[in-house]
Amino acid sequence: MENKTPPDQRVVPPPPPPISKSPPRLLVIGAGSRGRAYARAVISSSNGVLTAVAEPDDYKRNKFGATMIWGSNLCPPEGASFRDWREFVAYETARRARVRAGEKDVAPGVDAAFVCVLDEMHCEVVVALSKLGGIHIMCEKPLATTLDDCLDMCKALQDNVDGKGQQAVFSIGHVLRYSPHNKLLRKLLLEDRAIGDILSVVHTEPVGWWHFTHSYVRGNWRRENTSAPSLLTKSCHDIDVLLWLLCSPTDCSSPNCPPPHLPSTVSSTGSLQYFKRSRKPVAAGAATNCLSCPVEKSCKYSAKRIYVGPDIVGLGMGNRGWPMSIVLPDIESYGSEQEAEVAVLANLAEDYDASTPDAEVARHNWFGRCVYESDNDVCDEQVVTITWDEDPKPSHLPGLDGSNAHATSLADNLHGRGSKLATFHMVAQTKQVCERYTHLYGVNGEIFADSKTITVQDFNTGQTTTHNTRIESLGHGGGDAGLTRQFVTAVDMVKNHGWSTDKAQKELIGCTLEEVIRSHAMVFCAEEARKEKKVVDWAEWWSKEVGAKLEQV
């Protein structure tokens, strides 16, 4: 027997919440692709107002401001344009001093900031904003590139309080939590208990054969010593989703919610398997750049094919957005396709040799570089395995007292806290680009979820039900819009409607700072397991690497 819910086509985003009398004023720090994505989501899906941008690149800053804030025919008003986050902090410090001194006609400040700078800059920016006090923060993922930085940020965020002594709202760019698809999946698993207790999960992120070369062989995230492991930079929110499904309480806003079901062991295997010199085609010879390579025309990784050609993502497809805006940041300033192509090819022709200092090689991206001759060292294939032991809790805890007849009829006495296993696979060589898919196996059925549908097989009834989830935007299946809407709404409810920041954090953000630290710590734990070829006891590792250090700061 098969049931299918009516397929939903891609829909227009729901209308933004009503505008408050004093709508949240928002600053975007970093006007790159992620900063622009959140800014677009602010405009389309929230009741906030973009009022300021901080960006060192003149073209990006002015383009962002003219498009999103002050308009193409106007000059930036006071407090709207900053060359970097330091300039903003200095301005805001002086502005607050003027307010305290009783000056009149002081420009209003911002209520919240989106931090969208390079990963390795997150810590210093978030710590500096936190020291100002009272600014709500959304930080793009990952939180930071080292565990120590994550813990420093945790302490700073705990100290980021407003005039009432309340800790400011914080959100992390784990957009997968906020897509309609994943929200429905979690509801089916934890609220509806569609397959009963979960026994195992196999989750895959197919990065994409050309996408991996763009970002992790030629691009920003190719070197661990200048960025971080690819498990962190690419897949930290996949690890977060697994913990969200298997570890976090069903509803963190409940005042007496049960504690999280914490993992028992962590292990990982993986390496840089393919994008290295030993895999280079013999016919390519000594070539190190696609534009001078004798086999360029037959190589699928040809930078000219990827960025200029008509069949992947290049100019030949009329594309001037991502990833072309990364290859040539001012691509929109070129009037004709021919002019843009000349500029792109000039960029692709840039190369280095053995005499080039490593610091210069590491300093910027080399999008025309041979993928077998690059300076990349991050994994292009990795598997992480997380296990949970049985962890029954006393029956007096909320939700575990047998009062929910529907839930208890589908559960055993462990109430979802039985032993279980999660396997995550990040793989580069795929046709799909970030179109994740997940198999979930339970005591009463199984679920297969891809990026568009969720199919539930019920062992008890023999029924198959397929859910076609709505996609309100292309940004992570609506996750960009969903996260932005929830964050800005949380700021609005605190600013204008009398909510405490704790209530807004739990009910609207739906993620605590503890969960953010846990999911990032899991990545660092998995990397230790991979490099040292061992199985890590999670409780012991957490106590030593996280608990003890948080007590020291």
Residue 550 has pLDDT above 90, yes or no: no
Contact 55, 64 (CB under 8 A): yes
Q: How confident is the model at residue 322 (pLDDT cuts 50, 70, 90)?
A: very high
Residue 244 has pLDDT above 90, yes or no: yes
Q: How confident is the model at residue 341 (pLDDT cuts 50, 70, 90)?
A: very high
Pick left, alpha or beta for residue 208 (phi over 0 → left; psi -120 to 50 → alpha; otherwise beta). left
Number of residues that make up the chain: 553
Domain ranges of the chain: 25-176+483-511, 196-274+378-443+516-552, 280-363
Contact 541, 271 (CB under 8 A): no
DSSP-assigned beta bridge partners for residue 537: 265
What residue has token string 């690890």? 239
Residue 492: which of 16, 39, 48 has the closest Cα?
Answer: 48
**Per residue in 415-447, is it b (16+ CB within 10 Å) or e — as a string?**
bbbbebbbbbbbbbebebeeebbbebbbebbbb
Q: How confident is the model at residue 4 (pLDDT cuts 50, 70, 90)?
A: very low
Other C-beta atoms within 10 Å of 298: how many?
12
CA distance 552 to 546: 10
Strands 536-537 and 265-271: antiparallel
Question: What pLDDT shows up at residue 78?
Answer: 94
* Residue type present at position 459: F
Task: Out of 7-16, 49-58, 331-340, 495-504, pick the least confident.
Answer: 7-16
Residue 6 has pLDDT above 50, yes or no: no
Q: How confident is the model at residue 299 (pLDDT cuts 50, 70, 90)?
A: very high
Task: Name 288's Cβ contacts closer than 8 Å, sequence gap at least 6.
Answer: 351, 352, 353, 369, 370, 373
- CA 477, distance to chain mean position in Å, is 13
Pick left, alpha or beta for residue 102 (phi over 0 → left; psi -120 to 50 → alpha; otherwise beta). left
Residue 281 has pLDDT above 60, yes or no: yes
CB-hemisphere CA count at 13 Å for 30?
21
The domain over range 196-274+378-443+516-552 is classified in CATH as 1.10.3470: no
Residue 423: which of 314, 188, 263 has the closest Cα?
Answer: 263
The domain over range 25-176+483-511 is classified in CATH as 1.10.10.2840: no
Tens of pLDDT, residue by residue over 33-89, are 999 999 999 999 999 999 999 999 999 999 999 999 999 888 999 999 999 999 999
Task: Name 181's Cβ contacts closer than 8 Å, sequence gap at least 6.
Answer: 449, 451, 452, 454, 469, 471, 477, 478
Enter the DSSP assignment of 544. Answer: I
Peptide bond into 323 cis (omega under 30): yes
What residue has token string 């954090």? 505
CB-hemisphere CA count at 13 Å for 177?
29
For the chain, the straight-line distance linking the first and the last C-alpha, in angstroms and rounded, comes to 58
- CA 444, distance to chain mean position in Å, is 32
CA distance 230 to 225: 12
CA distance 461 to 175: 34
CA distance 197 to 443: 6
Tens of pLDDT, residue by residue over 18-36, are 889 999 999 999 999 999 9
- How many helices (H) and strands (E) would you count in the chain? 19, 16
CA distance 327 to 340: 11
One-character DSSP codes across 287-332: --BGGG-TTGGG-TT-HHHHHHSSSSSSGGGT--STTHHHHSTTGG
CA distance 130 to 124: 10
The pTM assigned to this predicted structure is 0.92
Locate 420 and state its tokens.
């279980």
Task: Please compute the mean of the pLDDT values over residues 264-269 and round it to a whole number.
Answer: 98
Q: Give, in degrees to the nearest 5, the angle at Cα 274 between 268 and 276.
A: 115
Q: How confident is the model at residue 339 (pLDDT cuts 50, 70, 90)?
A: very high
Tens of pLDDT, residue by residue over 133-154, are 999 999 999 999 999 999 999 9
Tens of pLDDT, residue by residue over 469-489, are 776 655 556 689 999 999 999
- CA 146, distance to chain mean position in Å, is 16
Task: Name 314's Cβ contacts closer than 8 Å, sequence gap at least 6.
Answer: 305, 306, 307, 308, 324
**Mean pLDDT across the chain, nearest whole number?**
92
Residue 93 has pLDDT above 70, yes or no: yes
Locate 2 and state its tokens.
């098969």
Residue 429 has pLDDT above 70, yes or no: yes
